[in-house]
Amino acid sequence: MAKRKGATLGKRIVHSLCFLIALLGTREAAHAQQQWEFMGLGYEKISTIAVDLRNSDIVYAGSLSFIADTFGIGGIFKSTNGGMTWDTSAVPASVSKIVIHPSNSNIVYAALNGGNYMHPGVVKTTDAGHSWFYADSGLYTDLDASYLQGIAIDPQHPETLYCGQAGTWGGSLWKTTTGGAYWFPSDSGMRHDNSVGQNIVIDPESTNVVYTLTGGNGAWAWRTTNGGAYWYNLGIPWNAYHTRTLEMDPHDPATLYVVAALGVSPPQVAKTTDKGAAWRLMSYDTMGIHSIACVTFDPNTANCWYAGAGNVQSSSDGGIHWELMTPSIQGLNGPVLAIAFAPDGNALYAGAQGVNYAEGSGVFRYRFVTSVQHSLEFPQSIRLHQNFPNPFNSTTTIQFDLPTVSLASLKVYDILGRVVAVLVDERISPGEHTVRWEAAGMPSGVYVARLQAGSAVRSTKLVLLR
């Protein structure tokens, strides 16, 4: 009996080793096979990509129309399977920006720039893209002299939106508090340059704090702390003429990244980590990149950023240094001017604008393979991930990592510091763990999830939106 037990144990060890070797080989093979996938819309100049916060399979893409182009009329396109197939939602439509309602996937807005003599304005769907209508009463647009640029939706009060306008005789910033039923000017204190509101970002923790850009006669960044009643110049210390993009780090709303547009000599980039009180100027020479057109942030990893340029670039130190993402998109025929993560962080989308609608434009997708790697090793440190979705309507998922066996607690607090939910309070094994918070009966607002394991404490903010 002892001999047979030893033989059985030996076989189990051999089988386990073979399984681990095979699993490691599978992980390496999967990593080696990871490539950017062409997802379609190859004859469109992709200008914007939006992924639904509540359903990562729902993706909208918008394309531009140009008078000089023979076939390009632009349009709004929708996928319900993560970009595998696309339906034409609206054409013609020369689209600058698309935003999706944070808690109602049927409601989507798009800012149109009026290419090919089409009327500029804001269009809206309330039936998930089956039909669209203009929702821009009060918003002045002139076919020959103005077009719309950025549009942003308040994550806590989604009937409130901001929209930027550019024009030959000066641009404006507009606001609606009625879901587009009526718009009014919201740019007091701001320079009325040719380009206003190319990018607009709203602080998710305090939505009366909004940031935007103006350009065309100097590059300026602006902030309002009272919902657009008055704007203050953030005073970036550069000598630039145009601005291209402004983005906020979702892991830290105090961190903003502003990029000067092409044509500035030398091009410049500015970063702040204190909501614009102080700025750090960087150059493309030290960053290791030639240009930046758009920026997005890994929702699961702090300081992990991706940028669209001639291809997709990546940074692991919060935009200070960049390198070409490996693998890169093959066969591009133009720059990457749209980039967006799926909210769960498992897929990255990029939109390219090809020249003369040749092969190499369209939508591309990169899927991150992590499940096998995570199953083979424990986390190196305690970590509390950002909840998903965020903002959320009633239920959200929170993931946390523990490197060792720990007595752990995970509690949710309201803004007054009161405990409103105890999600974990026990001894937990090492590894990755996931819990759900059912926030039924809780009012809308900002909450804090606090993880404690031993003496280590981590926290993250959750936005409940009814």
pLDDT tens sequence across 206-220? 999 999 988 876 778
Across-strand partners of 260? 243
> What is the separation of C-alpha 240 from the centre of its chain, rounded to a whole number of angstroms?
26
Element (H, E) at 272: strand 269-272
pLDDT score recorded for residue 415: 87
pLDDT in tens, 288-320: 887 788 999 998 888 899 999 889 999 999 999
**Mean pLDDT in residue range 121-141:** 92
- Of the listed ranges 22-31, 126-135, 393-402, the least confidently predicted one is 22-31
Residue 356 has pLDDT above 90, yes or no: no
Neighbour tally for 116: CB within 10 Å: 15
**Residue linked to tokens 């000017």:** 185
Share of the chain above pLDDT 70, in %: 83
**In the predicted structure, residue 12 carries a pLDDT above the cut 60:** no
CATH fold for domain 37-371 = Methylamine Dehydrogenase; Chain H (2.130.10)
Average pLDDT, the chain: 83
pLDDT digits 0-9 by tens, 136-162:
999 877 655 568 889 999 999 999 999
24 or 191, which is more confident: 191
Scored b (16 or more CB within 10 A) or e, 206-243 reads ebbbbbbbbbbeebbbbbbeebbeebeebebebebebb
Q: What is the pLDDT of residues 437-453, one digit of tens each?
A: 989 889 999 999 999 98
- 277: CB partners within 8 A, 6+ apart: none
Q: How high is the pLDDT of residue 264?
A: 47
In three-state secondary structure terms, 375 is helix
pLDDT reported for residue 11: 37
Identify the weakest region by mean pLDDT among 59-63, 120-124, 289-293, 376-380: 376-380
- Residue range(s) of every CATH 2.130.10.10 domain in the chain: 37-371
Q: Is the pLDDT of residue 191 over 60?
A: yes
Most confident range, picked from 41-50, 173-182, 250-259, 302-311: 173-182
Confidence of residue 41 (pLDDT cuts 50, 70, 90): confident
* CATH 2.60.40.3080, the chain: domain bounds: 378-464
- How far apart CA 252 and CA 248 sit, in angstroms, is 8
State what percent of residues in the chain have pLDDT above 90: 45
**This prediction's pTM:** 0.74
Token pair recorded at residue 290: 């030639």
Looking at 179-188, 226-235, 258-267, 303-312, which range is the least confident one? 258-267
Question: What are phi and psi for residue 113, nearest 5 degrees?
Answer: -100, 0
Multiple choice CATH, 378-464, 3.40.920.10, 2.60.40.3080, 1.10.10.60, 2.70.70.10: 2.60.40.3080
The yes-or-no verdict on residue 423 having pLDDT over 60 is yes
Per residue in 239-263, pLDDT tens? 666 777 899 998 899 999 998 755 5
First to last CA, the chain: 65
What was the pLDDT predicted at 10? 41
**CA-to-CA dists, residue 150 to 111, 193, 276, 321, 329, angstroms:** 7, 15, 20, 27, 26
Q: What is the 8-class DSSP label of residue 388?
A: B
Instruction: Using alpha carbons only, give the angle 204, 219, 207 rounded to the nearest 5 degrees.
Output: 15
| Mean pLDDT computed over 169-177 | 89
> What span, in angstroms and rounded, lies between the C-alpha atoms of 202 and 163?
12
Query: Of 11-20, 70-79, 137-146, which range is least confident?
Result: 11-20
- The mean pLDDT of 348-355, rounded to a whole number, is 86
Q: How does 163-190 read in b/e, with b if 16+ C-beta sit within 10 Å?
A: bbbbbeebbbbbbbeebbeebeebbeeb
pLDDT band at residue 359 using 50, 70 and 90 as cut-offs? low
Please name the residue that has the structure tokens 């993931």: 399
β-sheet bridge partners, residue 162:
152, 175
Residue 88: CB atoms within 10 Å? 11
Q: Are 188 and 231 in contact (CB under 8 A)?
A: yes
Asked if 71 contacts 399 with a C-beta cutoff of 8 angstroms, the reply is: no
Q: How confident is the model at residue 265 (pLDDT cuts 50, 70, 90)?
A: low
